[in-house]
Amino acid sequence: MPTTPPGTRRRIGARSRARGAEGEVKALLFEAGSPQRRLFDAAVVEATEAIIADKTMIADSDRWFRASSREIDAHRDGPTLDAAGLSTFTLMFAHLFPVSAETSHKAWLDQTRDTQLATAPVAGLIAVRDRTDRPGAIAAGRAWQRLHLDATLRGMALQPLNQPIEMIDRERQTGAGSAWAQRVADLTGDDGEATFAFRAGFSTAPAPAGARRRLRDVLVGSPADSVKRRPGEAGLAALVLPG
């Protein structure tokens, strides 16, 4: 369970304000117990429920899950059991006895509500002026990377919780209205349009390693075999909160 040392919000906030001044990107933070935080938590939980109820959306989401070491090595992206913050017993059981999609989806919802949100002292949104503007989206991604790296150096742990943002995109894709866009806008107010959501805290356990793409896989304009793999490259990991 993440703890809440004094100054948690201040440490994140100082960095987010500095980055926001660079390129119309703002980070909005919600402390546990505040009215805005309760709205944030409810939006994340209900968006998770909406994704699970949408058969097409949840099927597309499931395709990103890497269930075996072979899939992890082939794709080097997407969520995995090993990086899901499960207990040792639960992880062992999950590897030995594959569960149904319905069981997996229920576990995701339960974990989101009862662990990821319930234990995080701070949650936040990254906002830009226009979330559909590609340069703005790139700027938000850079801000998140810098915020995440800086927080890691300070001993903190962050994790994306983008379910409400995904529901905004789903509504736009299906022409189902703008209820989710308005709901998230109620959290950002005049501070722009949210394009990323996350939780933050100080983890009480080391973060498990997640696969990352090799350098040769992401270089543009160079032959894939022109870059040699460096020792320890496969061990690069993202820092995530348990759960």
For 125-155, write each residue's pLDDT tens digit.
999 999 999 999 999 999 999 999 999 999 9
CA distance 41 to 161: 10
pLDDT confidence bin for 216, thresholds 50/70/90: confident
Domains (range + CATH), the chain: 8-235 (3.40.109.10)
Amino acid at 116: Q
Give Cα separations from 76 to 43, 64, 216, 229, 242 (angstroms): 30, 11, 13, 15, 20
Alpha helices by DSSP H, 121-162: 134-153
Q: What is the pLDDT of residue 5?
A: 52
For 169-194, write each residue's pLDDT tens digit.
999 999 999 999 999 999 999 999 99
Q: Taking phi first (over 0 means left), then psi (-120 to 50 degrees means alpha), and beta for anything else, what does residue 158 get?
A: beta
Neighbour-count burial of 192, counting CB atoms closer than 10 A to its CB (0-12 exposed, 13-18 middle, 19+ buried)? buried
For 55-101, write each residue's pLDDT tens digit.
999 999 999 888 888 888 888 888 888 887 777 888 888 888 888 89
CA distance 98 to 100: 7
Q: pLDDT at residue 240 above 50? A: no
